[in-house]
Copies of this chain bind each other. A is one copy, B any other.
């Protein structure tokens, strides 16, 4: 009997546990420790629940604790791991309801402790009406706040979650201001592309106030949140949503002497085994991943990576040989009718890394220009001078724009040049693309500059 203990019952943990159980059945005892009451839920779906595009919270649960148990997992919700002993090969876990501690031996340990929202020391962060957007309980709390008369929202942070919550507030008819210390929203994009986003947000009636961090969140006479104060001014708010990114939950691993990287995540090899620790695996939002084009270790909290990690870990525990070959920094988001995609290095980032870069931006249409429902799409391409190697791509445009980033992601993954991409056999028909695909119009332009 193989004893497998998994810490964390969300994307990576539940996926690894299920993979092991499906493969080994009665030959594996798989315990999953999850301190919350939910398992396998889509945190990234919360903005769409708030926007009314799905029901919640149950609809966001891909697999409930009961379903996991029916599949043979020893799923222990309300249990929190408190210590790992990598030498004795045990995990100590507390049953939160009773406070009882248990020591669980393992042959294999999977650390999938996720990430926690960044909470800077802003006065007023705990006021009623101020919410994070991380757990299903956060989602329920936001829905409760919105049941009151909410006219104005302020969103702190203009990254993916901030942008998506701005869309949700907009969909609900709430006047929305997004504040961030960066001059333009979405700092994963170059400033010129970020400017397109803030311009489009303005046209949607979503105000963007960048350039200054939040100084305080203040309450009104009723004790609830009333305004957000930044160096740029004071912004009235009946609700405040925090989207300032996340940090890996790696404290448990660190206390056990497991290696952490510069970004605070657990360091694994490409099989997702913790470096130097046979049979101890880690994946999901608590680990660092390798950025393929540069070899740097990054922290990228995304459910899609976490699920892949879970598959790799579960397969490797059961005698398989899978690797997670790294990431290329692909992301996509939307705010109302505006779609945003990015991959690879930003222009300034590439220069900071000492690369000699050329870049070009084009404006094309999402479909053949003569179709009435064709919309504008902007594509920026960043390449290495001389070699022409594609380094990065950013897209901002109307519906049909965002997922085009996958072509650039697959190209960067394979080390293609901008000329290679220009030659690619991409799908063409008038309702899908101009006769030159917009990504190729951009690589063609940059191919003439390298």
Chain A interface residues (CB < 8 Å from chain B): 11, 42, 44-45, 47-48, 53-55, 59-60, 160, 164, 292, 302-305, 307-308, 311, 322-334, 341, 343, 368, 370-373, 400, 402-407, 409-411, 413-414, 416, 419-420, 422-433, 435-437, 444
**Closest-CB distance, A406 to chain B (whole angstroms):** 5
Task: Check B426–A330 contact: CB distance below 8 A.
Answer: yes
Chain B hits for A414, CB < 8 A? 410, 414, 416
Distance, CA A324 to CA B424, complexed state (A): 9
Q: A11-B435, A303-B435, A411-B410 are in contact. Are A42 and B427 (CB under 8 A)?
A: no
Task: Check A334–B444 contact: CB distance below 8 A.
Answer: no
Chain B hits for A44, CB < 8 A? 368, 428-430, 435
Q: Which of B42, B292, B429 contacts A430 (CB 8 A)?
A: B42
Q: Which of B400, B402, B444 contacts A311 (CB 8 A)?
A: B444
Q: Which of B54, B419, B423 contacts A371 (CB 8 A)?
A: B54
Question: Could you list some 19 contacts between A and B, CB below 8 A?
Answer: A42-B430, A54-B368, A160-B429, A302-B428, A304-B435, A307-B435, A325-B420, A328-B425, A329-B425, A331-B428, A331-B429, A341-B427, A403-B433, A406-B427, A407-B410, A409-B427, A410-B410, A410-B426, A413-B424
Q: A407 — nearest CB in chain B belongs to which residue?
A: B406
Task: Check A325–B60 contact: CB distance below 8 A.
Answer: no
Task: Check A59–B370 contact: CB distance below 8 A.
Answer: yes
Q: Which of B160, B403, B410 contacts A424 (CB 8 A)?
A: B410
**Closest-CB distance, A103 to chain B (whole angstroms):** 34
Chain B hits for A304, CB < 8 A? 426, 428, 435-437
**Closest-CB distance, A377 to chain B (whole angstroms):** 12
Task: Check A308–B341 contact: CB distance below 8 A.
Answer: no
Q: Which of B59, B409, B425 contacts A409 (CB 8 A)?
A: B425
Known: A44-B368, A405-B427, A410-B411. 17 other contacts (CB 8 A): A42-B370, A42-B430, A42-B435, A44-B430, A54-B372, A60-B370, A302-B428, A304-B426, A324-B423, A325-B423, A330-B426, A331-B427, A332-B432, A400-B403, A403-B403, A403-B427, A403-B432
Chain B hits for A400, CB < 8 A? 403
**Closest-CB distance, A422 to chain B (whole angstroms):** 8
Q: A11-B435, A48-B430, A431-B334 are in contact. Are A327 and B371 (CB under 8 A)?
A: no
Chain B hits for A55, CB < 8 A? 370
List 9 A-B pairs, minimum CB-CB distance, nearest first: A332-B427, A304-B428, A410-B410, A414-B414, A54-B370, A59-B370, A327-B425, A330-B425, A303-B435
Distance, CA A424 to CA B42, complexed state (A): 21
Task: Check B402–A53 contact: CB distance below 8 A.
Answer: no
Q: A403-B427, A406-B427 are in contact. Are A368 and B42 (CB under 8 A)?
A: yes
**Closest-CB distance, A297 to chain B (whole angstroms):** 15
**Closest-CB distance, A364 to chain B (whole angstroms):** 13
Task: Check A427–B402 contact: CB distance below 8 A.
Answer: yes
**Closest-CB distance, A78 to chain B (whole angstroms):** 25
Task: Check B370–A45 contact: CB distance below 8 A.
Answer: yes
Q: Which one of A303, A410, A423 has the greatest number of beta carbons of chain B within 10 Å? A: A410
Task: Check B407–A404 contact: CB distance below 8 A.
Answer: no
Chain B hits for A444, CB < 8 A? 311
**Closest-CB distance, A259 to chain B (whole angstroms):** 23
Task: Check A429–B325 contact: CB distance below 8 A.
Answer: no
Distance, CA A324 to CA B423, complexed state (A): 6
Chain B hits for A305, CB < 8 A? 425
Task: Check B404–A403 contact: CB distance below 8 A.
Answer: yes
**Closest-CB distance, A179 to chain B (whole angstroms):** 22
Chain B hits for A437, CB < 8 A? 304, 406
Chain B hits for A53, CB < 8 A? 371-373
**Closest-CB distance, A22 to chain B (whole angstroms):** 11
Distance, CA A323 to CA B414, complexed state (A): 19
Task: Check B409–A426 contact: CB distance below 8 A.
Answer: yes
Distance, CA A11 to CA B322, complexed state (A): 46
Q: A291 — nearest CB in chain B belongs to which residue?
A: B425
Chain B hits for A402, CB < 8 A? 427, 429, 432
**Closest-CB distance, A173 to chain B (whole angstroms):** 19
